[in-house]
Amino acid sequence: MPNLSIISVVGARPNFMKVAPIHKAFKKYADVRHLICHTGQHYDETMSKVFFDELELPKPDFYLGVGSGSHAEQTAKIMVGFERVVTQNRPDVVIVVGDVNSTIACSLVAAKLGIPVAHIEAGLRSFDRSMPEEINRVLTDSISDFLFVTEQSGIENLKREGISEKKIHFVGNVMIDSLVHYMPKAERSDALSRFRVDPAKYIVATFHRPANVDTQEGLKLLLGFLKNIASRHRVVFPVHPRTRSNIRSFSLESSVNGQVSLSEPVGYLDFLWLMKNAALVVTDSGGIQEETTYMGVPCITIRDNTERPVTVEQGTNYLTGTNLDSAEKIARDVLSGKAKKGKIPELWDGKAAERIVEIIHKTIAENPKS
């Protein structure tokens, strides 16, 4: 009979694959009721529902339906909705993942209501406060009670910020848990034939960072870069809704040619399979840097910094900055067979969620709330 209750928060695309293994891992604990709150930050079928289906997540217990808006608007709406959920349900712990607006909004609500907060993917730092995610990371970590870290740099960053070592747990990477678990299913994807590409003969692209896609000039350069590298390898580019709406409003549809296939965002299983078979991935995503490192697929990250340095230091990721000439040069080297060989970072073994729920369960079972 469950006497402990835990609410995990999901909101945006990269949250679903992080919470799915946590949900599975809690099934082993008969005394825990694990509930899911979806804020509705992402709401398109291709940005949300497809992941619930593919990751075998149950329908969320709470749906806040906040939708899009400015940072203040979105964060505030999530906070108002989540405060109601927490007040009515008084969970023993609230779990937040990653660095999106739903992460900071819900951790702030829980912390102020005196509910312990567990932050999964704590300690990552780009040291670039112009990124909204960096502000979300620093603030969430500063009010969390459990800080679950994916790579060594996270431990150092948190200690430097004065966070007690007792709260920091190096557990590995839940996003990799999902990758390991779902790869056998992804192998049945027909995405390569749908995009009419052959293994190792194409490039996968994804871009959604405001710094890359929110100005007409920047987005035009980026699409020009894709067109250039597509001369010998086709580019498969499932387009994030932010990017899609900017391509439209800047009238840039004609900046790419037939060698660059723009599509709707694809589901998780198709996307894993597309990455796994690609000659190269070019991206500004956070999670994709980690997934490609795990799979040993070369990745070029078009950003000036990364909060995931292990993917560059040990993995297959190249951080090229936003200078597209240097990105193009590295792309040509990689495509001519000169890619660096990476290794899988410590504890990225598919078992991070088991470690996390064990730590949370032990702590709350030993310290029942009054």
Rounded least distance, CB 101 to ligand UD1, Å: 4
The verdict on 208 binding ligand UD1 (CB under 6 A) reads yes
206 binds, among ligand UD1, ligand UDP, none (CB under 5 to 8 A by kind): ligand UDP
237: tokens are: 């580019």
Residue position matching structure tokens 């912390």: 111
Q: Residue 181 CB: number of other CB atoms within 10 A?
A: 17
Residues 6 or more apart in contact with residue 276 via CB below 8 angstroms: 183, 186, 295, 297
Give whichever of 43 and 202 is closer to ligand UD1, judged by the CB atom. 43
241 binds, among ligand UDP, ligand UD1, none (CB under 5 to 8 A by kind): ligand UD1
Give whichever of 167 and 185 is closer to ligand UDP, judged by the CB atom. 185
44 binds, among ligand UD1, ligand UDP, none (CB under 5 to 8 A by kind): ligand UD1
101 binds, among ligand UDP, ligand UD1, none (CB under 5 to 8 A by kind): ligand UD1
Ramachandran class of 55: left when φ > 0, alpha when ψ lies in -120 to 50, beta otherwise? alpha
28: tokens are: 């082993």
CB distance 167 to 147 below 8 Å: yes
The verdict on 241 binding ligand UD1 (CB under 6 A) reads yes
| Window 39-58: residues binding ligand UD1 (CB under 6 A) | 41-44, 47
Q: DSSP H helical segments within the chain, as ranges?
A: 13-26, 49-54, 71-89, 101-112, 132-142, 152-160, 174-186, 191-194, 210-213, 216-229, 241-249, 268-276, 287-295, 310-313, 324-335, 352-366
| Window 70-129: residues binding ligand UD1 (CB under 6 A) | 99-101
C-alpha separations of 138 from 39, 122, 134, 231 in Å: 21, 9, 6, 41
Catalytic position from the list 23, 38, 208, 233 = 208
Is 240 among the residues known to form the active site?
Answer: no
Give whichever of 133 and 141 is closer to ligand UD1, judged by the CB atom. 133
C-alpha separations of 123 from 82, 141, 213, 279 in Å: 24, 7, 26, 31
Give whichever of 18 and 77 is closer to ligand UDP, judged by the CB atom. 18
Residue 235 β-bridge partners: 203, 260
296 binds, among ligand UDP, ligand UD1, none (CB under 5 to 8 A by kind): none
Rounded least distance, CB 239 to ligand UDP, Å: 8
Rounded least distance, CB 364 to ligand UD1, Å: 28
Pairing of strands 260-263, 234-238: parallel
* 19: exposed, middle or buried (Cβ count in 10 Å: 0-12, 13-18, 19+): buried
Q: Which residue of 13, 34, 276, 303 would you call a contact of ligand UD1, by CB under 6 A? A: 13
DSSP 168-197: EEE---HHHHHHHHHHHHHTT--HHHHTT-
Residues that bind ligand UDP (CB under 6 A): 13-14, 17, 206, 238, 265-266, 268, 271, 285-288, 291
The verdict on 132 binding ligand UD1 (CB under 6 A) reads yes
Give whichever of 264 and 333 is closer to ligand UDP, judged by the CB atom. 264
132 binds, among ligand UDP, ligand UD1, none (CB under 5 to 8 A by kind): ligand UD1
* 249: exposed, middle or buried (Cβ count in 10 Å: 0-12, 13-18, 19+): exposed
CB distance 205 to 226 below 8 Å: yes
341: tokens are: 């060989």
Rounded least distance, CB 299 to ligand UD1, Å: 16
Binding pattern for the stretch 284-323 against ligand UD1, x by CB under 6 A and - elsewhere: --x-------------------------------------
The verdict on 134 binding ligand UD1 (CB under 6 A) reads no
* Catalytic residue IDs: 208
Binding site for ligand UD1 (CB under 6 A): 12-14, 41-44, 47, 68, 99-101, 132-133, 208, 240-242, 245, 286
